[in-house]
Structures are given as structure tokens and as C-alpha cells.
Structure 1
């Protein structure tokens, strides 16, 4: 069985990727047009894709820092406290 810490990290990561995929799908469905029988992303749609990728990277970095501070460090301190008392 996976530790609680890993389950939280997996859930947050999968959620972040799900939001990113949904955002890219939305951008693709609202900012495309048909040219010569092919779906073409508009220039504004291309900019939104780039901005969403940048936002995803920044968001995942922030989430990583928050998880380290709130989940990983307190559990490591709790483990240290248990082992030193034995």
C-alpha cells in the first residue's frame, strides 16, 4: 500500500494534469477554424496554449512547494520524533 504522502501527491498531480487537458481541449474547441478541410488553431488560440502551458508549469511548482511544506516535512518530523523516543 502506498503511503498517505504519496497518495496526496498522486491525487494532486492527476488533478493538475486533468485540468490542463480540459483547458487545452476547451482552447482547441473554441479557437479553431476550418481551412482547406483541416482544423486550424487561430493565432489567439496558439497564444492561449502557450500561456496555459506556462501557467501549468508555474502551478505545479507552487503546488510542489506547498506539498513539501504541508505534507512531507510534518510527516518527516513525526517520523523522527517516533524513532528518537524508542
Structure 2
């Protein structure tokens, strides 16, 4: 199986971003766990999800310019 360099770059960036997202979710769960997720933890979780969506959008646009030059 022959995989393009561009595809490998896209996969590596995506896996890295998802790994970062999972690490942030675990950190939020550990920091705000008091017999359940507190209100502050819920807000942090919503912020993490929003940040992940923005990060993936920025990475997608950046990769589109980087890989198509």
C-alpha cells in the first residue's frame, strides 16, 4: 500500500489534534470532578469542545494552503 506524503501529514496532524482534545477532556474531568462534573467543569468542557472545533477548522485551512502550494 502506497500512501502519499500529504495523506500522512493530514493523518498525523489530525491524530495529534484529537490526542490533545482527549488529554484536555481527561484533565478537565480530573480537575472538576467532585462526585460528578461541577458547573465550572461543564463550562470548561463546552470551552474545550468549542476550542477543538476552531482548532480543527484552522488546521484544515492551514493544511489546505500548505499542501496545495
Of the three residues 31, 56, 60, the one matched with 1:60 is 56
Q: Which runs of 5+ in 1 are unaligned?
A: 35-39, 75-86
SS for the counterpart of 2:34 is: strand
Determine which structure has more spread, i.e. the larger CA radius of gyration: 1
Q: How does 1:1-86 map to 2 (within 5 A)?
A: 1-34=2-35, 40-71=36-67, 73-74=68-69
- Per-residue deviation at 1:14? 0.2
TM-score by length of 1: 0.77
The structure showing larger relative contact order (alpha-carbon pairs under 8 Å, at least 6 residues apart) is: 2
CA distance in 2, matches of 1:69, 1:8: 13
> Number of paired residues?
68
